[in-house]
């Protein structure tokens, strides 16, 4: 397949609130091909979740807008597409799962009802057939005793089960692309491992592409081939996950990796924090948004925003002063 599944180019999203205009996404570009997975990594305020919601036109109409850029799904432009078309795509070819299944699932409908609703909305089946399909899906996502569980309500299921149910719902129309917004952040670590394993298996077996949004670099490492790092609404670094994590070029990525404790490094390795605090997203910035915290900043960085461009094969970066220090395998005690 020569055509990429999803192409996002220079996406800009703005919110108009009481405090004025917040530019939540200020330039995001990436491509996902069939069957591939990409992680979109960033902290709170980086714009990662907003960008995914924008893809599916799920942001509140009155206050949020895509102000620039394009989103092409199989070549079809989604920015500006009709609500009717978006409804066809949502849950159909593009599905989304969220962080907190308790608030994303309807508390007064049984699991079966919710999945059936989804199935019927995309004309996959009707009535009894739909119910059977729902049970099949619950089985597929590893819920034991699917037939009985289907009749239960969301609050009767544990966190991990609810997440599986949500995944089942998302899969009901056989989507080509799954957007997963922090799907395991609220779960215990052993349950997280289960869910990630499930997603990996489904991806292999169904040939689905996955956009995984997370703040956890470890989760990204275990799961995706490609990685885009976001900071203050912009993509700052992008490339193959394995290469990027072992030899990051952007000071922010480097800073992040140096500041987190890791099980595969000596425990006495010093944690080197990134100085300062994340920026106020209601204010714009002239130069690079990371500049105030960057230890490699140059004078240019404060006034001119660096463009997002290729630095080597399949490595993109928005930086005037990229670093080329590989993360040591064993690390020294500093």
Instruction: For the CB of residue 147, give the shortest distance to other proteins in the complex, in Å.
Output: 18
Q: Is the CB of 223 or the CB of 320 nearer to other proteins?
A: 223
Virtual torsion, Cα 24, 27, 33, 34, nearest 10 deg: 20
Q: Is the CB of 177 or the CB of 245 nearer to other proteins?
A: 245
Q: 69 — phi, psi (to 5°)?
A: 95, 175
Q: Helices (H) and strands (E) in the chain — how many of each? A: 12, 12
Which residues contribute to the site for other proteins (CB under 8 A)?
Answer: 43-44, 144, 158-161, 188-194, 196-197, 215-223, 241-242, 245-246, 255-257, 259-264, 267-274, 277-278
Beta-strand pair 94-97/64-73 = unpaired
Instruction: For the CB of residue 9, give the shortest distance to other proteins in the complex, in Å.
Output: 26
Q: How is the beta sheet containing 94-97 ordered, strand by strand?
A: 94-97, 177-181, 209-214, 37-41, 226-231, 234-240, 315-317, 309-312
Q: Is the CB of 10 or the CB of 216 nearer to other proteins?
A: 216
Instruction: For the CB of residue 255, give the shortest distance to other proteins in the complex, in Å.
Output: 7
Cα angle 200, 201, 203; round to 5: 65
Instruction: For the CB of residue 275, give the shortest distance to other proteins in the complex, in Å.
Output: 8
Instruction: For the CB of residue 85, give the shortest distance to other proteins in the complex, in Å.
Output: 37
Residues 6+ apart with CB under 8 A from 287: 300, 301, 302, 303, 304, 305
What is the C-alpha to C-alpha distance for residues 132 and 135, in angstroms, rounded to an integer?
A: 5
Instruction: For the CB of residue 134, give the shortest distance to other proteins in the complex, in Å.
Output: 21
Q: Is the CB of 126 or the CB of 148 nearer to other proteins?
A: 148
Q: Is the CB of 5 or the CB of 39 nearer to other proteins?
A: 39
Q: Is the CB of 79 or the CB of 222 nearer to other proteins?
A: 222
């Amino acid at each position: 397949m020569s055509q990429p599944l999803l192409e996002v180019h220079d996406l800009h999203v703005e919110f108009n609130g009481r405090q004025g205009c917040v530019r939540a996404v200020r330039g995001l570009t990436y491509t996902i091909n069939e069957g591939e997975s990409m992680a979109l990594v960033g902290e709170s305020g980086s714009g990662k979740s907003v960008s995914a919601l924008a893809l599916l036109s799920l942001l509140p109409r009155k206050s949020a807008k895509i102000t620039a850029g394009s989103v092409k799904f199989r070549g079809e432009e989604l920015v500006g597409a009709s609500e009717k078309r978006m409804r066809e795509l949502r849950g159909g070819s593009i599905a989304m799962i969220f962080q907190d299944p308790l608030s994303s699932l309807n508390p007064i409908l049984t699991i079966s009802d919710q999945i059936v609703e989804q199935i019927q909305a995309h004309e996959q089946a009707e009535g009894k057939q739909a119910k059977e399909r729902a049970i099949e899906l619950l089985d597929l996502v590893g819920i034991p005793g699917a037939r009985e569980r289907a009749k239960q309500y969301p609050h009767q299921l544990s966190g991990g089960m609810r997440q599986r149910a949500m995944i089942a719902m998302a899969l009901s129309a056989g989507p080509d692309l799954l957007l997963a917004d922090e799907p395991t952040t609220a779960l215990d670590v052993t349950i997280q491992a289960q869910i990630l394993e499930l997603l990996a298996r489904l991806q292999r077996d169904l040939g689905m592409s996955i956009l995984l949004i997370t703040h956890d670099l470890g989760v990204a490492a275990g799961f995706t081939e490609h990685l885009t790092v976001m900071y203050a609404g912009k993509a700052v670094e992008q490339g193959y996950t394995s290469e990027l994590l072992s030899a990051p070029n952007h000071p922010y990525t480097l800073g992040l990796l140096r500041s987190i404790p890791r099980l595969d490094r000596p425990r006495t390795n010093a944690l080197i924090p990134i100085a300062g605090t994340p920026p106020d997203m209601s204010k714009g910035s002239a130069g690079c948004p990371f500049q105030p915290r960057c230890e490699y900043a140059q004078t240019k960085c404060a006034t001119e925003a660096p463009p997002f461009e290729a630095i080597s094969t399949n490595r993109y970066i928005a930086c005037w002063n990229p670093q080329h220090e590989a993360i040591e395998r064993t690390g020294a005690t500093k």
